[in-house]
Amino acid sequence: MRMLTWDEFNSCVESITSSCKNRAFCGVYGFPRGGLCLAVALSHSLNIPLLNQLEPSSLVVDDVYESGKTLSRVLNFPDITTFVWLSKVKPIWWNTVELSDPNEWLVFPWENQERAYLDEKLYRNARGLSK
C-alpha cells in the first residue's frame, strides 16, 4: 500500500502545469472524485476555469489510470489533452506524471487512510485477487 502525500500531489500539479503552461485550454475538467482535487489545483495553477462538464479544447485530469474505464469515455472527444497523476499501465494516448506498479494499492492524500485497508481488502476479495 502506498500512501501518497500532499507534497507529492503538489509536485504532480507542478509537473502538469509545466507541461501545459504554453497551451490554450478553455478550462480543466476533473473526473469525480479523485480527478476533482487535481482539476481544482490545476485551475488555480494554470489560471483557467474549472469546468463542470467536458468541453472541446479542455484539459481533462484524473488521479489514476487503472483499467481505462473512466478515461476511455473521452478517447474520441475533440481537441482535449488528458493527464493522470499515476498510471498503472504505460500511457498510449493519455499523459501521466508517474507510472505505478499495477498491483500497488494507492491511497491519495484526500482519502481516509484507515478506511483504505478495508477498501483494498474488499476490492481484492471481490475480484478474487490475493494481496
Q: Please give the chain's pLDDT, 131 residues, in tens.
A: 999 999 999 999 999 999 999 999 999 999 998 899 999 999 999 999 999 999 999 999 999 999 999 999 999 999 999 999 999 999 999 999 999 999 899 999 999 888 888 888 888 888 887 65
**Cell numbers placing 87:** 498510471
Distance (Å, rounded) from C-alpha 29 to C-alpha 45? 14
Nearest Cα residue to 37 out of 17, 54, 62, 60: 62
Q: How open is the CA angle 28-34-40, to the nearest 5 degrees?
A: 35
> What domains are defined for the chain?
2-126 (3.40.50.2020)
Task: Return the SS3 of 112.
Answer: coil
What is the per-residue pLDDT for 131? 59
Whether the model clears a pTM of 0.85, i.e. scores above it, the answer is: yes
Amino acid identity for residue 66 in this structure: E
What is the per-residue pLDDT for 70? 94
Residues 50/43, Cβ–Cβ less than 8 Å: yes
- The residue behind cell 467536458 is 54
